[in-house]
Amino acid sequence: MVTGADFLRLLLDGGFDFFTGVPCSLVKSLIASLEERGGYIPETREDAAVGLAAGAYLAGKQPVVIMQNSGLGVCLNALASLSLIYHLPCLLLITWRGYQGKDAPEHIIMGDISPTLLTTLRIPHRALSPETVSDSIRWAAETLKQSSQPVALLLPPGVMQ
Amino acid sequence: MKLAEALGAIIPLLRDELVVHANGFISRESFNVSDRPGNFYMIGSMGLASSIALGVALNRPDRRVVVFDGDGNVLMNLGSVALIGATQPGNLVHIVFDNEVYGSTGNQRTIAAQVALEEIAHSAGYKRVQRVETATVLRTTAQELLAQPGPSFLLIKIEPDREERKIGRITHGPPQIALRFMAEISNQRSAVSGQQNKERE
């Protein structure tokens, strides 16, 4: 397992420098580290967070949007009709509730379809594991720069402390 | 006041402001009045113009950022009004053209006739809030708000277009709109030095 502080360090090393989102319990230590660092913007909805990140990118930042996969449903149109068509990249750090069908009922369907939704949107994505966090963040940073499009990392339970 | 009249009163006041436009007639009418490199035209993602503008404003506090928004857009993303109040970007001016309808889909009513959006902005914590209904007052009010620290909210009551209008669409593609806007942002002139340069010219 990685700590929120270590995860944040890897994001900063990858060049990411603007952070917003809507929380999930699976990333509470990361958000605590971001709040400690300062500058984290707690958004009200995930689609608004994608809009905020688009503005930050236009202003020269490399944004990260943190959300639960329930929020992926909320921001589908923001991704399709803003980020993807204007080529406004951001890293989507999406917690994977309903992973392997083991979760509360409200998470089961979204947990099942999260990777498929990202594939359908043509957003490159990887699932994180404790061993691959560092490599995956580096991959995300490179892919995002090359494509000028959003890239997603799915975070299942058991990866972040 | 019509939308074109309201835009005609505000646009000549702009210097190096970055202007994020809501989708629909606001983008298209403004593009037809005067296309500027500092204009970002949002063509989809209804509701998000103020979120995009906030993202720019927070990261470039040296540049003044204006949102040309609509009542339907604001109602779709009231959380953004709250976040602007919470984050207090002094360089943000939120202008709402309120015609009480969804104009580009055929004038179906919004609920802006029943809800005073400027009071929501006031409650959210915008520093300056104004509501105007005539073009003469609009000019002086907009001039004041563009010169003072914000966040400011200007609600302009406009008439919906009763007849279907043939108004051109934005001719730049989305990636070109973004690249041109980014080039304008990375231009290092601050709002203040830009103004001084203009005065010198």
List, for residues A92-139, the tens digit of each pLDDT value.
Answer: 999 999 999 999 999 999 999 999 999 999 999 999 999 999 999 999
Q: How far apart are CA B14 and CA B66, in angstroms?
A: 10
Kindly determine whether residue B48 and residue A88, on different chains, have CB atoms separated by under 8 Å.
no
Q: Do A51 and B51 count as a contact with CB atoms less than 8 A apart? A: yes
- Chain A residues contacting B, CB < 8 Å? 18, 41, 43-45, 47-61, 63, 77-78, 80-82, 85-88
Number of folded domains that form chain A: 1
* CB–CB contact B79 A43 (8 Å): yes
Task: Centre a 10 Å sphere on the Cβ of residue A131 and count the other Cβ atoms it contains.
Answer: 10
- Residue from B19, B59, B64, B186 to probe the interface with A (highest A Cβ count within 10 Å): B59
User: Measuring CA to CA, which residue among B121, B101, B117, B136 is closest to residue B25?
Assistant: B101
Residue A64 lies in a domain: yes
Residue B132's SS3 state is: strand
Q: With CB atoms and an 8 Å threshold, state whether A44 touches B80.
A: yes
One DSSP character per residue, B30-76 reads HHHH---TTEEE--SSTT-HHHHHHHHHHH-TTS-EEEEEEHHHHHH
Bridge partners (DSSP) listed for residue B70: B97
pLDDT given at position A28? 97
What residues of chain B lie within 8 A of the CB of A76, using their CB?
A: none
Give phi and psi for B94, each to the nearest 5.
Answer: -105, 105
Among the listed residues B18, B140, B195, B21, the one whose alpha carbon sits nearest the alpha carbon of residue B91: B18
Q: Considering CB atoms only, which of A53, A78, A80 is closest to B55?
A: A53
Q: Which among A23, A26, A25, A7 is positioned nearest to A138, based on CA atoms?
A: A7
* 8 Å CB contact between B34 and B11: yes
Please report, rounded to a whole number, the percentage of residues in chain A having pLDDT higher than 70: 100
Peptide bond into B151 cis (omega under 30): yes
CA distance B144 to B129: 11
The Cβ of residue B7 has, within 10 Å, a number of other Cβ atoms equal to 21
**In DSSP terms, which residues pair with A63 in a beta bridge?**
A18
Average pLDDT over residues A20-42: 98
Give the predicted TM-score (pTM) of the model. Answer: 0.95
Q: How confident is the model at residue A140 (pLDDT cuts 50, 70, 90)?
A: very high
pLDDT at position B192, please? 44
Mean local confidence (pLDDT), A81-93: 98
CB atoms within 10 A of CB A140: 26
Whether A120 is in a domain gets the answer yes
Residues of chain B with pLDDT under 50: 191-201
Separation CA B48–CA B5 (nearest Å):
24
Q: What is the pLDDT of residue B190?
A: 52
Pairing of strands B108-109, B92-98: unpaired
Residues in Cβ contact with B121 at an 8 Å cutoff, skipping those fewer than 6 apart: B81, B85, B94, B129, B153, B155
Quote the DSSP letter at residue B120: H
Domain of A112, in residue numbers: 4-155
pLDDT of residue B199: 41
Closest CA to A83 of B8, B45, B144: B45
The residue among A26, A31, A118 whose CA lies nearest residue A68 is: A26
Residue A160 falls within a domain, yes or no? no
Q: Which of B14, B11, B7, B23 is nearest to B174 (CA)?
A: B23
What is the pLDDT, as a whole number, of residue B162? Answer: 78
ipTM surpasses cut 0.90:
yes
Distance CA A52, CA A45 (A): 10
Q: Identify whether the C-beta of residue B25 lies closer than 8 Å to the C-beta of residue B103.
A: yes
pLDDT of residue B3: 95
In chain A, % of residues over pLDDT 90: 100
Q: Give the helix/strand (H/E) hosting B192.
A: helix B191-200
Pull the structure tokens for residue A33.
């580290």
CB spacing of A77 vs B44 below 8 angstroms: yes
Where do we find the tokens 């061993």? Answer: A131
Structure confidence at residue A9 (pLDDT): 98
Query: Closest-CA residue in chain B for A58?
Result: B182
Contact at CB, A59 and B43, closer than 8 angstroms: no
- CATH architecture entry for B3-200: 3-Layer(aba) Sandwich (3.40)
The number of C-alpha atoms within 13 Å of A112 and in the hemisphere containing its C-beta is 7
Q: DSSP class of residue B100?
A: S
DSSP E strands, chain B: 18-21, 39-41, 65-70, 92-98, 101-102, 108-109, 128-132, 152-157
Q: Per the domain annotation, does A161 fall within a domain?
A: no
Between β-strands A41-42 and A18-21, what pairing exists: parallel, antiparallel or unpaired? parallel
**Backbone φ and ψ of A13, nearest 5°:** -65, -30
Compare CB distances from B79 to A48, A55, A81 and report the shortest one's residue: A48
Q: Is B175 helix (H, G, I), strand (E, B) or coil?
A: helix
List the CATH number of the domain containing A39: 3.40.50.970
